[in-house]
Amino acid sequence: MRRSPKDTDESARKITRRALFLGASQLAFMGVLAARMRYMQVDQADEFRMLADENRINMRLLPPARGLIYDRTGILIAGNEQNYRIVIVREDAGDVDEVLERITRLVQLDPDDLERARKELKKLSPFVPVTIADRLSWQDVAEVAVNAPALPGVSPEVGLSRFYPLNEDFAHIVGYVGPVSDYDLGKLTDPDPILQIPKFQIGKIGVEGKMEDALRGRAGTRRIEVNSVGRVMRELDRIEGISGENIQLTLDAGLQNFAQARLVGESAAAVVMDATNGDLLAMASAPSFDPNKFVRGISVADYAELTQNEYRPLANKTVQGVYPPGSTFKMVVAMAALEAGVIGPNETVYCPGYKTLGNRRFHCWKRGGHGHVDLNASLQQSCDVYYYEIAERVGIEKISEMGRKLGLGVQHSLPMSAVAEGNMPTMDWKMARYGDSWKVGDTLNSGIGQGFVLASPFQLAVMVARLASGLALEPRLVKTVNGFEIERPVPTALDVSQTNLRVVREGMIAVSNSSRGTGYGSRIEDDEMRMAGKSGTSQVRNITAAERARGVVNNRDLPWERRDHALFVSYAPIEAPRISCAVVVEHGGGGSAAAAPIVRDIVLRALYGEVPPLTAYPASQRARVEEVLQGLVLRDLSPASNGKSRA
């Protein structure tokens, strides 16, 4: 049936409208698409380019070289050494166990390191490099490199690691570094991003810890191209980090080594200070430890050996150890009494061997007493009754005030760990601490450096330096940072009578140079090097009345831990003091017998600048002294020696 012309025209009009509608829709869609494409490609081009680059290029931090630490003469104390290590990438290795087996045929590896590497390989992504072993010799690394075709996924690397060439000598002062721990990060409110680098080393204790920010330096960066799963494809550029600042200490490596060697076999501490400006010259704590073991990862056995040693080698006895100063405190009491005017230098006190207070006797170390003694004789012979008497007269407040004036009971600012404040007790202190009032007996005990009085060997060295110089010297440990001198404050004169200072010094001179002095046995024969000193013995146990009645047990007959501490302090030369020195020998017995000979040797080494000549000692002692000095294991610190020890 044929359609009429009218129907045909109507159909054509409908088709045309549909075509126009469809075409308009397509055109509109294409317009919107074109506009969107233009918006993304032109208007937002920079943003998408940045997003693409961030997806393709990563920034990695590069650890800087740690700053170096030197002694006052430029001898290296803490440095950096090349650390050769081998790493493996699991996805490139194929059969990991087979590759590790091949490596063990070439290089002797610690089984613990291998086990740790296997665990990390399983835990980490297949493209992340895992360290198999570090601190390898160049020969081991070369062996791996030569056999590289047979070791797929394995490559040698070179980095920097901390090392301490003088081993035990500066361990307590400089400290050591170790990997960043969660505990370290938890102490920081805004941690440096560099601390996130795996196994990045930071200072843990000592100068390394206290001056971490200066020693650490600033991280460098490298741009690397990675694929969609984060695998490194190539390095685009690199900006090296800024090395940490180099630090020079005031300590003398030769003197430090001598002091450390002289303390071998003892649980002891020795501090030497420049009595003209406050520079610390030596701070030896014995026994010591090798800080390199902590850097490399100390073994359980080695750590247990350190912690279970009754001599406590990990403790820095120079600043952490606080002890009753015993009779070395008598100069403080004497100065307090002279300044208060409660006694004159020529006034005498009678010593029958004890002082009675109520129904209690406070005994002198000399059972039969010293008779009538003035201030000079009281120091020379270390009469306890004299100091019981003048301590009671002057009172604890003035005694403690004088102690702080001379540097005791004060926490001096040093970049070292756990610097102790010691204790100069007062009435208020005892009430706050124990809820009890101060007793006269407490004052008497304090008068001979016992009871609540506590001081570190470092503080005792400061005390003697101030007595010798008449200046309020402030101790200094850091000499320069990056070559720039650390300014020391100009010391002011002590706020005490110079006449009274001379009186106390004369008593100290008599201790070491008078035939009745407690330190006469350790005198110096060289007139230009003579020293002034004071012995001290601090009790660590109570002596009962019954024991006194039958005779006090000699220290050498007691177990080591129940023996008295031995102390001796000194300055030299007596005419123009250059150094002060303090030594504490834990449970050493008498200060004159145990500590004084050590002080004399260290003082002479400081003054002569080398092992002291035998002519500096009394002729009758030279054979014994020679045996002692020849038995010291001293380090050869010449440039070609690399710090090796010599007998």
Q: Give pLDDT tens digits for 608-622.
A: 999 999 999 999 999
User: Average pLDDT, whole number, for the chain?
Assistant: 88
Rounded Cα–Cα distance for residues 455 and 267 (Å): 17
What tokens appear for 520 in the block?
Answer: 């006469």
Is residue 423 helix, strand or coil? strand
Structure token pair of residue 266: 């003892």
Per-residue confidence (pLDDT) for residue 641, from 0 to 100: 60
How many Cα atoms within 13 Å fall on the side-chain side of residue 529? 22
Reading the block at residue 175, the tokens are: 């400290």
**pLDDT for 126-185, tens place per residue?**
766 777 887 788 888 888 888 888 888 887 877 788 999 999 999 999 999 988 887 888
HSE (side-chain half, CA atoms, 13 Å) at 458: 32
pTM recorded for the entire structure:
0.85
Give the model's pLDDT for residue 646. 46
CA dihedral 626, 631, 636, 642 (to 10 degrees): 180
Query: Which tens digits make up the pLDDT trace of 586-597?
Result: 999 999 999 999
- When pLDDT is averaged across residues 80-93 and rounded to a whole number, the result is 83
Task: Identify whether the C-beta of residue 515 lies closer than 8 Å to the C-beta of residue 507.
Answer: no
CA distance 493 to 281: 22
Q: φ and ψ at 4, to 5 degrees?
A: -80, 155
- Give pLDDT, residue 643: 56
Rounded to whole angstroms, how far apart are CA atoms 561 and 542?
13
Q: Where are the domains of the chain?
A: 81-162
Task: Tell me which of 541 and 446 has the higher pLDDT.
Answer: 446
Q: Which of 81, 52, 54, 63 is nearest to 222 (CA)?
A: 63
Which pLDDT score, from 0 to 100, does residue 415 have? 95
Q: How many helices and strands (H and E) does the chain possess? A: 24, 23
Reported as a single tens digit per residue, the pLDDT across 378-401 is: 999 999 999 999 999 999 999 999
What is the pLDDT, as a whole number, of residue 229? Answer: 47
To the nearest 10 degrees (0 to 180), the angle between helices 111-123 and 96-106 is 150
User: Are the beta carbons of 380 and 507 closer than 8 angstroms?
Assistant: yes
Find tokens 């997003």 and name the residue.
Answer: 51
Residue 51 has pLDDT above 60, yes or no: no
Q: Dihedral of the CA atoms 431, 432, 434, 440 (nearest 10)?
A: -30
Q: Please, are residues 590 and 564 in contact by the beta-carbon 8 Å criterion?
A: yes
DSSP summary character for residue 242 = B
- pLDDT at position 111: 83
Taking the C-alpha atoms of residue 349 and residue 368, their distance in angstroms, rounded to an integer, is: 15
DSSP 311-360: T-TTS-TTTT--B--GGGGHHHHHHHHHHHTSS-TT--EEESSEEEETTE
269-283, 296-310, 338-352, 404-418: least confident range:
296-310
* Residues, the chain: 647
Report pLDDT digits (tens) over 207-234: 999 999 999 999 888 787 766 544 556 7
Decide: 452 and 466 in contact? Cβ < 8 Å: no
CATH architecture group of domain 81-162: Alpha-Beta Complex (3.90)
Contact 336, 401 (CB under 8 A): yes
pLDDT band at 499 (very low <50, low <70, confident <90, very high): very high
Q: Which one of the listed residues 285, 288, 327, 382 is annotated catalytic?
A: 327
Nearest-CA neighbor of 91 among 128, 59, 57? 128
- Give the pLDDT confidence score for residue 647 in this predicted structure: 40
Asked whether residue 547 carries a pLDDT value surpassing 70, the answer given is no
What is residue 12's predicted lDDT score, i.e. its pLDDT?
62
Helix, strand, coil shares of the chain, percent, nearest 5, are 45, 20, 35
Give pLDDT, residue 181: 80
- Reply yes or no on whether 378 is catalytic: no
Q: Which of 62-66, 368-372, 403-407, 420-424 has the lowest mean pLDDT?
A: 62-66
Measured CA to CA, the distance from residue 249 to residue 480 in angstroms comes to 7
